[in-house]
Structures are given as structure tokens and as C-alpha cells.
Amino acid sequence: MQAHEIDYRLIGEEMQAVEIELDPGETAIAEPGSLMMMEQGIEMDTIFGDGSRENESFLGKVWNAGKRALTGEGLFMTAFSNSGLGKQKVYFAAPYPGKIIPFDLGLNGGKIICQKDAFLCAAKGVSVSLEFRKRLGVGLFGGEGFIMQKLEGDGMAFLHAGGTIIEKELLAGERLRVDTGCLVGFQPSVDYDIQFVGGIKNSLFGGEGFFYAQLSGPGKVYIQSLPFSRLADKIISSAPKMGGKRKGEGSILGGLGDLLDGDN
């Protein structure tokens, strides 16, 4: 598998975008809806699957697209190709506040396993498929279930995650416990399992859920500080409730403050 060689530049801090520079004939693939803008010489095409295998049969394409669908993604991806004579650029934007992680598969064993909504875009030739987690505990309690995404190939891939990203290099036998929602991705050399938090009080009142993701080295692990589910929960809890009532935000008076302000 030989992926297209692309150049890139990350733009911004909290709401990042990635600028990908394509030589004539080069192509980048991306999830539908991630495009920000593209220069005149770029042509867009909707493809079945990820386009990583040029001579693949129709049934093979259906099988690979179906595996993507199991991760919650669509059957189709979008390809952006440089059909001009000179270098052209295409830009992809992060879907919510966070960071974009550039990952060179060719320099990192040719594979990374990630949560199912982390993939943003990649060079054509990178395979985007599913990773089946065989352990029962991971499947039932791992947050991501039995299924996670895997990216394979020798080109550049770009992941997106919420908040700040921490990259940790685990040594052989070194263990790390992570909130299941905060885990973005890890190298295939890392062993992934689920561990019970322990203790009735911790489980019921600790606010951290019943299970941790336990990661054992060697290999790299990527952690996000703000999972989208946590961000969504905060937005929903602060949104106006039935009858126009809202949660008293930033006030020690709470609902009494709303009364004094005339909101009730």
C-alpha cells in the first residue's frame, strides 16, 4: 500500500484547521462535512469506501464500506484531488473545540487504533476500517464497545479530539488508567482492557463512571481533556428548560437569582 505524499500545516489553537498541499495528481480523503475551503484546481468526488485499493472488486468495496458503517460512519467518503498543473491547497476544519493530531503511519508501524469519531482526513491510500475488540469486558463496558476504528497504511492521517491532547509514551509493562471517554487512540502494541473502579461510594457518587480503560505499554497513547459527550452534557444542562427556565450560571443564588432578575 503506497499512500500519496502530502504536505500539511496546522492552523489555529482552540478551533484548528489543517491545510493540505497537494501536488498535481495527489488526493486527500475526508469525512463528509469536514471541508472548510479548497483552491481552484481541487476537484471533489464522493467515493464508496475509502478508496485505498484502486483495483478492488465491487464486493470488496461493499464489504469495506460496510465495516465503516459498523463504526457509525457513512458508507461514502469525499476525495479531493489536484487536477491542475501546480500545487493546490484544501482545508479541513475541526468539528468542535479541540486539537488536530497529525499521525505519520509510515513512521509509526503502519497502524493506529482510535475512537470511532476521531478520524478527520488522510492521504489517499490510507485504509479506514474497524477494529474488533475481542475481550468481553471491553465490548460491554468500554464506552466504544467491541468496535473501534483502525487506520492503516504508510501515509499521513489526521485525528481530531476535544480540548487539549496529551501524548504519553508507555514503556513495556507500564500501565495507565484513563476515563473511557477521554481515550482518543493508541498504537497496536498497546494492550487495552477495562477495569472496574471499585468501591460502592466511588462507583455511585464518584462521578467518574463504573469503569476505567486500562492501557499497558509499550506504545503511544493519545488522551483528550474534553470528550464531545462531556461537552454536550454541559451544554444540555445549561440550556433553557421547559417554560423558559434556565440553570443559574455563575451565581451563588442560583434559582433565587433568577427570581430577583425577573426570569421567573
What pLDDT does 91 receive? 97
pLDDT at 259: 45
| Predicted pLDDT at 194 | 79
Share of the chain above pLDDT 90, in %: 42
Q: What is the pLDDT of residue 95?
A: 84
Q: Which of 37, 33, 31, 30 is nearest to 6 (CA)?
A: 30
56/61 Cα distance (integer angstroms): 7
pLDDT computed for residue 207 by the predictor:
47
Q: Give me the count of residues in the chain.
A: 264
Contacts of 234 (CB under 8 A, 6+ apart): none
Angle at 143 between CA 35 and CA 192, to 5 degrees: 100
Which stretches of the chain score pLDDT less than 70?
1, 50, 52-74, 132-147, 197-210, 241-264
Domains delineated in the chain: 7-226 (3.60.160.10)
